[in-house]
Amino acid sequence: MDSLEGLQKRIKTTQDLRSIVSTMKSLSAVSIIQYDASLKSLLEYGQTIDAGAYVLMRNGVLNAAKPPKLPSEKKKALAVVIGSDTGLVGKINRDVVEFAENTLKEKGFDSDRILYIAVGRQVIGRLESREVPLLASYPVSNSIKAVGTTASAILIKIDEVLHAEGITHVYLFFNRRRGGSVNPASSLLMPMGEEWLEGLKGRKWNSRRFPVFSMPAPQLFSCLVQERLLIETATALTDSLTAEHHTRLMTMQAAEKNIDENLERMNLEYQQMRQENITTELLDVVSGAEALRKKRRPTA
């Protein structure tokens, strides 16, 4: 059993730990609010880009031509797998890596025809342990402003290797929070023309007039596609950050609950031990007083 002094030190250490956990929980909660606002802005910007592409479609400039179906031996994928830099996020890094592998297998890609780009030290380590071909790796953006920089760097790297490696498909794999749960998700980044334009066909225009454009249609479409790619990549990064902080928040809440339970138990133990020490001291005083009284009692 701990001494009273030792128990006091344990309580103090546990209280310090609880303070750290509480701070981490607060930081995650604040980060989630910021990333949710960023996701909303990305969605609104994406709707503007989609509106521009829709105008080109309505003017008969664009057609959603279906790309030719390729046999598995000619298909080659580039998987951008997004995770976290730090721990305390449960199993989201393991899940997103396994999800990427399983999804690409289901889509008919041979394992020797899959290349990877990793975002986040935890994911980098997992992919390296699997000895898969890793073309590039990036740290997780620690701020909303850095998300755009990371997204641009990823797209530049994709552009460098796309034709050099004979890549036919590019996928984003990341974690996404929906409600109170976090699950892996994927997004087809390239080729995006068919899927994107098909999704615009059911769109409704809120005005009787359509905007006009002076830029040559192919050049305008190229600009819209570049922005759409940037939005898709930035959204995946932001979704992943939201999921990371949500998972960490849940982990910290569970840790805080366990710490509170331990503190309650240790405080009770401390009070009991202190009471026992006080009782023992009082009994010693009483015994000493009784012995002294007997010693001073006159003999008959």
Q: What is the residue extent of each domain of the chain?
A: 4-21+253-295, 26-251
Q: What is the pLDDT of residue 60?
A: 65
Buried b (16+ CB within 10 A) or exposed e, 219-250: ebbeebbebbbbbbbbbbbbbbbbbbbbbbbb
d(CA 191, CA 42): 21
DSSP string, 49-111: HHHHHHHHHHTT----PPPPPPPTTT--EEEEEE--SSS-STTHHHHHHHHHHHHHHHTT--G
Q: What is the pLDDT of residue 62?
A: 64
Find tokens 């949500």 and name the residue: 246
What CATH superfamily classification does 26-251 receive? ATP synthase, F1 complex, gamma subunit (3.40.1380.10)
Digit-by-digit pLDDT tens for the chain (300 residues) are 568 888 889 999 999 999 999 999 999 999 999 999 999 999 999 999 988 888 887 776 666 556 667 777 788 999 999 999 998 898 999 999 999 999 999 999 999 999 999 999 999 999 999 999 999 999 998 788 899 999 999 999 999 999 999 999 999 999 999 988 999 999 999 887 666 777 777 777 777 777 778 888 888 888 998 999 999 999 999 999 999 999 999 999 999 999 999 999 999 988 888 888 888 888 878 887 777 777 776 655
